[in-house]
Amino acid sequence: MDFDYFLSRISRIENAPLGGAKSHIKMIPKERKLLELKDLHDQDPRLAAVLALFYPDKWNLTNFLLILRANYDGTHSSQVSFPGGKYEQHDLDLQITALRETSEEVGVEMEHIKVMKKMTDTFIPPSNFLVSPYFGFTAKRPDFVTNHEVEQIIEVKLSDLLNDSSVGTQILTTKKKKNIDVPCYSLNNTNVWGATAMMLSEIKDLIKENLH
């Protein structure tokens, strides 16, 4: 999708309703129940935020950024995600968390990013994080500079996400279950599943419904 056309739809995207659970449920395993956000009080989740950052490539096609996290001793080691991380007490709000973490992880300065919309919060049971995703863009392709938390930058064309052929399944084994079919997106030869896939599903629905 041409980036100028993408920008021309921004006002519609900003004002459009979110898909929420209807979008998220498309990308969760059949065995998993989608936990309602209103039922999270007893979980006392930790707060985090991520940024779905859109920008033009050298052909002026709309791209967005994913990262492969570095290998470390933690729940989300070596996983594909949006840039982002946990809320810190000095953050004014979760939007600042998303922008700060993006700046730290991939070197995009906060003042260069326009946040369009907050998406639906997503709960991640294995790490007990409640993640607030933000939808933003920058006017030109950033010169990405990664820190130690990022193994690889993954630049994805928006058109690939919008193409329904990118949706498939993969077989995964988790701590609780073995050999389960997990919905995923195949993007740049990388399978994206879990909470990030749920967020992408809502972004995909939002954009597709406001293209015309």
Question: Looking at residue 160, what is its pLDDT?
Answer: 97
Question: Looking at residue 30, what is its pLDDT?
Answer: 75
Closest CA to 209 of 52, 4, 22, 12: 12
Which residues of the chain, if any, have pLDDT below 50?
76
How many C-beta atoms surround the C-beta of residue 189 within 10 A? 6
Contact 184, 175 (CB under 8 A): no
Determine the CATH number of domain 3-158+195-208: 3.90.79.10
Question: Looking at residue 196, what is its pLDDT?
Answer: 96
Question: Looking at residue 174, what is its pLDDT?
Answer: 60
| β-pair type (122-124, 129-137) | antiparallel
Question: Looking at residue 125, what is its pLDDT?
Answer: 83
State the amino acid at position 30 in one-letter form: K
Tokens (6 digits) for 90: 């000095």
Question: Looking at residue 170, what is its pLDDT?
Answer: 84
Q: How far apart are CA 96 and CA 94, in angstroms?
A: 5
Is 0.85 surpassed by the pTM of this model?
A: yes
Question: Looking at residue 79, what is its pLDDT?
Answer: 87
Can you tell me which residue has the tokens 């395993």?
A: 29
Question: Looking at residue 158, what is its pLDDT?
Answer: 98
Question: Looking at residue 77, what is its pLDDT?
Answer: 59
